[in-house]
A = this chain, B = another copy of it.
Amino acid sequence: MVGARREAHGVPVSPQLVEVITVGDELLLGFTVDTNGAFLAQRLAERGIAIARRTAVGDTIDDIVRAVEEALDRTGAVITTGGLGPTSDDVTRDAVAAVFDRELRVDEPHLQWMRERWQKRFHREMPESNRRQAMIPEGARKLDNKHGSAPGIFIEDETGRFVVMLPGVPRELRGMTEDTLLPLLGERGLATDTDVIISSTLRTTGIAESMLADKLSALHLAEGSSLAYLPGIDGVDLRITVRASDPGAAYLEIAEAAAFIRERVGDAIYGEDADDLARVVVDACRDQKINLSVAESCTGGMLGARITSVPGSSDIFVGGVIAYSNEAKVEQLGVSPASLKNHGAVSEQVVREMALGAQKKFGTELALAITGIAGPGGGTPEKPVGLIWICAAFGDGIKPLQMRSWGDREEIRYRAAQAAMELARRLIV
């Protein structure tokens, strides 16, 4: 039985099926990796909607028409992404209008809105080529796009078969999926509450995947549920996925698994789901009225950039020094030339002086410092590429830490900034 086999792989049993068609020559030429498809698939799966098939076609009306017609024949529920832009190779709306045998009409209010947006944003007339983005097939519904200038479009025929057209720009697609697509599919009765797949992620950093696996080997989950180890640049995420007949049972199972995990590796867990370590640190500083400064060498500003990526970080973040050259370390942070000479720029002594220098200069309770060898050059047998010293000066205390980062230059730097924030978190949370 097909249903039973699907179930074993975690695809919902329910026939809540849609197809996704991504439009763009760049996908067929391999210039772009299709991340939109994966994003959509995840968000839909979380709602119990399975994607029966994903198709990528080029920017050609005939090809799009054919793919949409076939998908409508198979499942009757189609989501397209891409091909809604202002240029002549953006032909998704033309193709889908042809499939439904509708004319394209200008949506005057949207055209007006676009013209005003151009005036406000670019201080000039909207180019006429952009007019295409206000074209909507007759009888179709315009879907607001708060994240860009092309609206999405919903169109259906008298038998209830429908196509939702969404833009291909990832930021716009993601925004519209949350704002518009998921509620719309809910309206259509496509989302289901009776057969749910729910997942929850615990985010760890500073601990290896194999160490986590050892510590969590005794975790027992019900049939159909799983724990996935997802190593990434931020650390290792632990994703618990459960499948249950109702949300209550699912959330209970997740809560039990999360409690088991927290008991064993709770120290390394800095957040859940989409939590960002920078936000966790900023929030903790705000709660405890701790202000913060940074002193960065190899990361060159990345730690400051991470912290200030959090809206409202100005409540607690004062500023920092990017001390890239040795002279800058001495002159701007008061690092002693003797320490640089005797221990080198990547050393416990220097990172301590950097943290203390920033703490004093900016008058903050907490200061974080980073110095390291990001590569690809500059490594030696004693101080290889990836060697990082981080340090937190916190009140009267000081906590230096050596770490080995890995990956390419950007990954090494990113992991160093992440480790510095984790050091701060463990000190203050």
Contact = CB atoms under 8 A, between A and B. Distances in A.
B60 A9 contact: yes
Nearest to A88: B8
Contact of A30 (B41, B86, B308): B41
Contacts of A271: none
A211 B127 contact: yes
Contacts of A130: 210
Contacts of A299: 305, 308
A130 to B, nearest CB: 6
A122 B386 CA distance: 12
A255 to B, nearest CB: 20
A311 B62 contact: no
A314 interface: yes
Interface string A73-95: 00000000000001111000000
A240 to B, nearest CB: 12
Contacts of A35: 33
A53 B51 contact: no
A289 interface: no
A127 B302 CA distance: 33
Contacts of A325: 314, 317-319
Query: Range of interface residues on chain A?
Result: 35 or more
Given A39-B30, A229-B87, A311 B171 contact: no
A46 to B, nearest CB: 9
Given A39-B30, A127-B211, A9 B171 contact: no
A427 interface: no
B38 A32 contact: yes
Contact of A305 (B300, B314, B376): B300
A311 B25 contact: no
A103 interface: no
Interface in A294-315: 294, 296, 298-305, 307-309, 311-314
B324 A301 contact: no
Interface stretch (A154-162, A258-266, A392-400, A401-409): A401-409
A218 to B, nearest CB: 14
A252 interface: no
Contact of A41 (B28, B70, B230, B305): B28
Contacts of A31: 38, 42, 199, 239
Nearest to A91: B9
Of A33, A40, A62, A361, most buried by chain B (CB within 10 Å of CB) is: A33
Contact of A9 (B53, B70, B89): B89
A26 interface: yes
A269 to B, nearest CB: 19
Contacts of A375: 311
Contacts of A322: 294, 301, 304, 308, 319-322
A316 to B, nearest CB: 10
23 contacts: A2-B60, A11-B60, A26-B228, A27-B38, A29-B197, A29-B241, A30-B38, A30-B39, A53-B56, A54-B55, A86-B210, A87-B209, A121-B406, A127-B210, A129-B210, A298-B308, A300-B307, A302-B305, A312-B377, A318-B325, A322-B322, A332-B361, A332-B362
7 shortest A-B CB distances, which residue pairs? A300-B308, A301-B301, A301-B304, A30-B41, A30-B42, A319-B328, A127-B210
Interface of A: 2, 5-6, 8-11, 25-35, 37-45, 50-63, 67, 70, 86-89, 121-122, 126-127, 129-130, 169, 171, 197, 199, 208-211, 213-214, 226, 228-231, 239, 241, 294, 296, 298-305, 307-309, 311-314, 317-325, 327-328, 332, 361-362, 375-377, 404, 406-411, 413
